[in-house]
């Protein structure tokens, strides 16, 4: 009795048999060709990704991690505001988008002037400005 598949032809059955031979025999590779083998995962604590100079993860020089987090939250709620914007414009915007009270309190504490972008708002709040090294 033939033990082939009803769904595949004999050629595909043989190819699948060849690819799974290591798994069937146990302990060996499951692919017939070495180039099909997945790459090994890095050990815990081992560097798994390299970053180009100046793009490493972490907090940029000139700003704290808290400053980064607060700026990110501000950007989430203020990035789609119409810029440049006054303190009053920003207060109206955050009311329309139903921003959290923390963001509303920060906008309320801003000085009366026009801001060109979220970075200027963050600087006015004293969150720090990252220093870029070129």
| 95: in domain | yes
Distance in angstroms (rounded) separating the CA atoms of residues 80 and 60 = 24
Q: How many domains does the chain have?
A: 1
| pTM for this prediction | 0.52
The answer to whether the beta carbons of residues 60 and 127 sit under 8 Å apart is no
Domain range enclosing 93: 65-125
| 49: in domain | no
| 51: in domain | no
| 109: in domain | yes
Distance, first Cα to last Cα, the chain: 73
| 93: in domain | yes
- How many other C-beta atoms can be found within 10 angstroms of the C-beta atom of residue 86? 13
Buried b (16+ CB within 10 A) or exposed e, 42-78: eeeeeeeeeeeeeeeeeebeebeeebbebbeebeebb
Average pLDDT over all residues of the chain = 77
* pLDDT reading at 64 higher than 90: no
Angle 100-102-104 (CA atoms, 0-180°, nearest 5)? 75
Kindly state the tokens that stand for 70. Answer: 């607060």
| 12: in domain | no
| 20: in domain | no
| 77: in domain | yes
Residue 92 pLDDT grade (very low, low, confident, very high; cuts 50, 70, 90): very high
């Amino acid at each position: 009795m033939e033990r082939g598949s009803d769904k595949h032809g004999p050629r595909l059955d043989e190819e699948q048999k060849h690819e799974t031979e290591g798994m069937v025999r146990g302990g060996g590779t499951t692919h017939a060709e070495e180039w099909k083998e997945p790459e090994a995962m890095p050990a815990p604590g081992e560097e798994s990704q390299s970053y180009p100079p100046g793009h490493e993860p972490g907090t940029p020089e000139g700003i704290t991690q808290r400053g980064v987090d607060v700026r990110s939250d501000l950007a989430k709620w203020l990035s789609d505001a119409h810029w440049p914007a006054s303190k009053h414009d920003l207060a109206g915007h955050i009311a329309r988008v139903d921003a959290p009270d923390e963001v509303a309190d920060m906008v309320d504490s801003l000085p009366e002037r026009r801001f060109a972008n979220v970075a200027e708002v963050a600087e006015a709040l004293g969150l720090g400005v990252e220093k870029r090294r070129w």
